[in-house]
Structure 1
Amino acid sequence: MKSTNEHGVHSPFVFRFVTQCLYSKGKAHKSKSIDVLLKCIFYFDVSKVAILDHLQAAQTIMNSFPHLEYDKQSSDVVFANQFDLFHFNQLLTEGKLHNDSVVLIDGIHQNPQKQEQWQSLITSPKITVSIDMYHLGAIFIRSEQEKEHFTIRI
């Protein structure tokens, strides 16, 4: 698989995300996916989080951030184990995602079905930034940015 670090990124938004969030010092959790989730909560200074179908992540986040709002009308960060284009469109239709929302999907290379779901998801024109970190994927809805896909080593 071809991947890069911050030196191969030409998007200012993604460069800052990689250098200031993903590559920030310290490891908050033994799971890489949950560690990225925790870093994203700090980096984006979120107030609303939705954890879908991932009990370990939900427990960790609720214990670490009791002040956050969970599963409310809209979310700044969504973390899911199973997530596909149908789920994405459903959250958009329900108004649960906004222009600066980030969706983190755990285990995008876990099996052929999840790889296929990931590939289908990142082709959506509504997703402008997608980042494959092998252990998980991140998608962003940023209307002000051109569509780009990145593969980043973490």
Structure 2
Amino acid sequence: MLFQIKAYLKFLWNSKNEHGVHSPFVFSLLTKCFYDQKFKAEYDILKNYRKSLLKNKNYIEVTDFGAGSKVFKSNRRQISKIASTAGISPKRAELLFRVSNYFQPNSILEIGTSLGLATSALALGNPKAKVITLEGCPQTATIAKNQLNQFDCKNVDSIISEFESFLISENLQATSYNLIYFDGNHSKKATLTYFDLLLPTIDNDSVWIFDDIHWSPEMEEAWEIIQNHPKVTVTIDTFQWGFVFFRYEQPKEHFVIRT
């Protein structure tokens, strides 16, 4: 916790808003997406999705997986508690919806479904997109799948799999994901492994979002390595999330932005 407080104070010291940005691409993203204050009808759907989970007092057996499908934790947890502590916040869900809506990706990959709070935001942002979401815990994935169907997120394909195993088994050379949301394993090793495995899927318009880039010293190390990768041109640090772009025409530039 002390590390995160120090990291946040450092972030505040270095951060800017749209007035300190000279890149037309990033300025447009901030003003038309990040800072868009207009109400969206989908926000009510996201709110009701969350309320439904917060009212669910049932318990499920939650299983987390480490590298190589090794189970490292299994315990009974109340669904409402998972939604309130492990799920994406309402503000972040709305921002994720706006990002999906702004870029209109045709194909979306989410690594780490949990209860589908972020999944619903991605899916509602572009109902025409194909959303693939990965979850290692079968019980959690089942709850998420039922929720997504209940709230008409029909464009989601839920897959139960250990993340690295799925990525290795897929023919990623022939795959293109326009938007990838990384929220499955907040460790340096796993984050960089997913990054390397998914690099063959990028194109000029790819948008990658990494969750909890300041979660720990090793996650900050992973974020720095990603920023410095030769194929990465633009990155945006919003403290909780790190946005990564691979736009060939952009000069390499890193932004620290308050949202």
Question: SS of 1:37's equivalent?
Answer: helix
* Higher mean C-alpha deviation, range 68-77 or range 142-151: 68-77
One-letter identity of the residue aligned with 1:80? F
Task: Determine the structure 2 residue equivalent to 1:50.
Answer: 109
Question: Runs in 1 of length 4+ with deviation above 6 angstroms?
Answer: none
Structure 1 residue 67 displacement after superposition? 3.4
- Of 22, 27, 37, the residue aligned with 1:10 is 22
- How many residue pairs get matched? 152
Calculate percent identity across the aligned residue pairs.
Answer: 35
Report the RMSD for the aligned CA atoms in angstroms. Answer: 2.2
User: Is 2:179 aligned against 1:77?
Assistant: yes
**For 1:144, which of 222, 233, 249 is the aligned residue?**
249
Mapping of residues 80-119 of structure 1, within 5 Å: 80-81=182-183, 82=185, 84-93=191-200, 96-119=201-224
Gap change, CA 1:147 and 1:65, over 3 Å in 2: closer
Compare 50-59 and 80-89 and name the one that shifted more.
80-89
Contact 2:101 2:126 in 1 (8 A): no
Task: Tell whether the 8 Å contact from 1:3 to 1:152 is kept in structure 2 after alignment.
Answer: yes
Distance 1:22 1:119 in 2: 23
Q: Deviations over 1:126-146 (max 9, x none)?
A: 000000000111000000111
Q: Which runs of 5+ in 1 are unaligned?
A: none
Post-superposition CA distance 1:77-124 (Å, at most 9, x none): 10012463332222123xx22111000111111122211111111110
- 8 Å CA contact retained: 1:21, 1:39: yes
1:125 to 230, 233, 247: 230
- Kindly indicate whether structure 1 or structure 2 has the higher relative contact order, using CA contacts under 8 Å at least 6 residues apart: 1
Gaps of 5+ in 2: 1-9, 47-88, 133-171
Residues 24-74 of structure 1, C-alpha deviation per residue, up to 9 Å, x if partnerless?
A: 115746444433321111111222111012423225434675532123921
Which secondary structure state, in structure 1, belongs to the residue aligned with residue 230 of structure 2? coil
Determine if the alignment matches structure 1 residue 68 to structure 2 residue 129: yes
Q: Would the aligned equivalents of 2:236 and 2:243 in 1 still touch at CA under 8 Å?
A: yes
Q: Which moved more, 1:9-18 or 1:24-33?
A: 24-33
Contact 1:37 1:79 in 2 (8 A): no
Structure 1 position 4, deviation (Å) = 0.1
| TM-score, structure 2 as length reference | 0.53
Aligned partners of 1:110 and 1:54: how far apart in 2? 19
Q: Is the 8 A contact 2:109 2:179 kept in 1?
A: yes
- Tell which structure's C-alpha radius of gyration is larger: 2
TM-score by length of 1: 0.86
Q: Name the structure 1 match of 2:4.
A: none
Judged with a 3 Å threshold, the aligned counterparts in structure 2 of structure 1 residues 149 and 63 are, in CA distance, closer, same or farther, namely closer
